[in-house]
Amino acid sequence: MVDWLVQNWLSIAVPLLVFLAFFMAAVWLRGVAYDAFDRWVAKARWEGSQLFVDSTRRPFLYWCLMLGAYIAVQVSVLSPEAKALAGRVLGSLFVISLSWVIARLSEGMLKLYLAKLKAPPPPTALVINIVRVTIAVVGVLILLDIWGAPTTPIILVLAAAIVFLALAFRDMVPDFFSGFQLAQGEHIKVGDFIKLESGDQGYVAEITWRNTRIKTLDGNLILIPNSRLIQSTVVNYGYPLKKASEPFRFQARLHLKELTGLRASNLPELVDILRRAPDSVIYYHTHHFLEEHQYLTPEPANDFALWVGDVLGDEVLSEKLASIDTFEFVTIGALKRRIIDVIDEYLAEKTDGRTAPEGREFHFIRSISVVLPTSYVAHDFREFVEILRKISIDSLYFHIFEAKLRLQKGVNDFSIWIEDCLEEGDLAAKIARLDPYTYTLEALRSTIIQLIEKRIK
């Protein structure tokens, strides 16, 4: 044995050195190549770049080793028959590993792009399985060719099987592609309420790769082939709106003005009359004043602040009165006490002898309200929005501003109905949080409409 090794060491060393050289070159080349790939992945915007790198990083090393082994065998002293056998084995290993990498890449790419198209799971799984089988069949045919086995009969059998399957599933193929088209187009989605040209109507319960299931209003299920659904005339009403447990009935109110005969020419007289004035007077000079000046943004606070600033020329007190948030108070009595307290505090710190010129006194006016029903009734959000576009400023003011005083809850009529009858607490809270004094009434109307339309879309 020693003598044989001494005589043939070169025949053993040369192939071994060739293999080791390829191994070292493969490790170096793999490091350089995939460092460049990693930089490319960091810069590339292609979603599949990372998948390509992860799928080929380890097999790349194996392929280099297989190539090194093949060359080492070819330079060895093995017989031609042994070299041919080794070549077939290495070639088979290469085909198997390459088929596995291609299958993994194809599966990853299909999942990536079919997910972007929002294809339903059954068609996605079917396409992936077809690609897997196709790659496997091609790999087997290549292996058979490497080992010299006849492939023509197998190809003929496969062709016959494909023709048979095409005939057997000829009705399913159009449904499959129609299902894919439905998923990609998103014209019909699960939950939509649709009506077919046949007269059938209901909610879309499920869209599979073959059929679309519709649940009718009486609870029955209708199974419609996707190809038929694509070719039919379909009216899609989208998500049906929920009906309110109680309809919203819009009301309006009219205000009559009545002079009380009371008037003040200075601050002490003003605060004295305020203490005796009924709530209808305070309402007129605060809330009704806002309605008359609704086109101003921000809206002026009240008549008292305006008179003190313009007639008495006291900008400091006028600013204090104007800063009172009328909408903060749920009763007129609380608002009146706040106005009186502000004037009393001011007079306690500063004796003011300013008097209004003759003819510029503050005249107290009483508001007489008359509430009138309207013909507008809303049963859901869509009807509510359409009516909200039409109602008068008086009706809008009644349900937003006066509701707070009437209900003494600090909330408007719209928010209460949306929360209690439609169970939409989040939307009701958003409308309740709107500060009506930072909008004109028309701007407030538009804002409420936008909030509701955003919800129903």
pLDDT in tens, 25-72: 777 777 777 777 777 666 766 666 767 777 777 787 777 778 777 777
Query: pLDDT for 361-409, tens place per residue?
Result: 999 998 887 888 888 888 888 778 878 988 888 888 888 877 776 656 6
Pair (118, 70) in one structural domain: yes
Across 4-18, 335-349, 391-405, least confident range: 4-18
What pLDDT shows up at residue 173? 53
What pLDDT shows up at residue 243? 81
What pLDDT shows up at residue 171? 56
What pLDDT shows up at residue 297? 45
Whether the CB-CB separation of 202 and 194 falls below 8 Å is answered with yes
Pair (207, 284) in one structural domain: no
pLDDT band, very low/low/confident/very high, at 250 (cuts 50, 70, 90)? very high
pLDDT band, very low/low/confident/very high, at 237 (cuts 50, 70, 90)? low
Q: Is 258 helix (H, G, I), strand (E, B) or coil?
A: strand
Tally of domains in the chain: 3
Percentages helix, strand, coil for the chain (3-state, rounded to 5) are: 65, 15, 25
Whether the CB-CB separation of 83 and 73 falls below 8 Å is answered with yes
Residues in the chain, total? 457
For residue 254, list its beta bridge partners: 370
Domain membership flag for residue 37: yes
Q: Is the pLDDT of residue 185 over 50?
A: yes
Pair (263, 210) in one structural domain: no
Q: Which has the closest alpha carbon to 11: 79, 85, 81?
A: 79
Residues 6+ apart with CB under 8 A from 419: 425, 428, 429
The residue-averaged pLDDT of 147-169 equals 63
* Torsion over CA: 67, 73, 74, 80 (sign): negative
Residues 6+ apart with CB under 8 A from 129: none
Q: Which has the closest alpha carbon to 141: 164, 158, 161?
A: 158
Pair (225, 252) in one structural domain: no
Q: Is the pLDDT of residue 241 over 80?
A: no
What pLDDT shows up at residue 254? 76
Whether the CB-CB separation of 94 and 66 falls below 8 Å is answered with yes
Q: How far apart are the first and last CA of the chain?
A: 87
Check residues 310 and 43 and name the one with the higher pLDDT: 310
What pLDDT shows up at residue 296? 45
Pair (119, 72) in one structural domain: yes
Q: Is the pLDDT of residue 130 over 60?
A: yes
Q: Is 150 helix (H, G, I), strand (E, B) or coil?
A: coil
CB atoms within 10 A of CB 73: 20
Measured distance CA(330)–CA(405) in Å, rounded: 5
Pair (292, 377) in one structural domain: yes
Here the CATH number for the domain that contains residue 220 is 2.30.30.60
Pair (388, 279) in one structural domain: yes
Whether the CB-CB separation of 434 and 448 falls below 8 Å is answered with yes
Measured distance CA(108)–CA(363) in Å, rounded: 81
Query: Structural domain of residue 426, as residue ranges?
Result: 242-457
Mean pLDDT, all residues of the chain: 76
What pLDDT shows up at residue 295? 44
Whether the CB-CB separation of 435 and 290 falls below 8 Å is answered with no
pLDDT band, very low/low/confident/very high, at 114 (cuts 50, 70, 90)? low
What pLDDT shows up at residue 7? 54
What pLDDT shows up at residue 340? 92
Pair (52, 152) in one structural domain: yes
Domain membership flag for residue 19: yes
